[in-house]
């Protein structure tokens, strides 16, 4: 009777959600997680821009 596929929580806590991207409240963990991984949000952003180089920019307007 269980009908949840389950999917890994986006904050990488290793738990499985009922189908959403995050367990309840865990979406708030992703910013501190990124800061921990990259040093700061600025470092994350620099990394992100580097990673996105050469990609089609998403259309705005
Ligand atoms: Zn989580």
- Dump pLDDT digits (tens) for 1-43: 455 578 999 988 999 999 899 999 999 999 898 899 999 999 9
Identify the pLDDT of residue 12: 85
Which residues touch 55 (CB under 8 Å, ≥6 apart)? none
Identify the pLDDT of residue 4: 53
Give me ligand 1 centre to Cα 1, in Å.
25
Give me ligand 1 centre to Cα 34, in Å.
13
DSSP-assigned letter for residue 28: G
Give me ligand 1 centre to Cα 61, in Å.
33
Give me ligand 1 centre to Cα 37, in Å.
15
SS3 state of residue 8: strand
Identify the pLDDT of residue 54: 86
Tell me phi and psi for residue 4, to 5 degrees. Answer: -110, 130
Identify the pLDDT of residue 59: 74
Give me ligand 1 centre to Cα 41, in Å.
19
Strand partners, 8: 16
Please name which of 26, 32, 33 lies closest in space to residue 17, comparing C-alpha atoms. 26
């Amino acid at each position: 009777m269980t009908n949840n596929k389950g999917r890994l929580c986006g904050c990488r806590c290793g738990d499985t959600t009922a189908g959403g991207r995050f367990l309840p409240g865990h979406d708030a963990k992703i910013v501190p997680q990124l800061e921990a991984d990259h040093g700061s949000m600025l470092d994350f952003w620099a990394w992100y821009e580097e990673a996105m180089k050469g990609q089609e920019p998403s259309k705005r307007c």
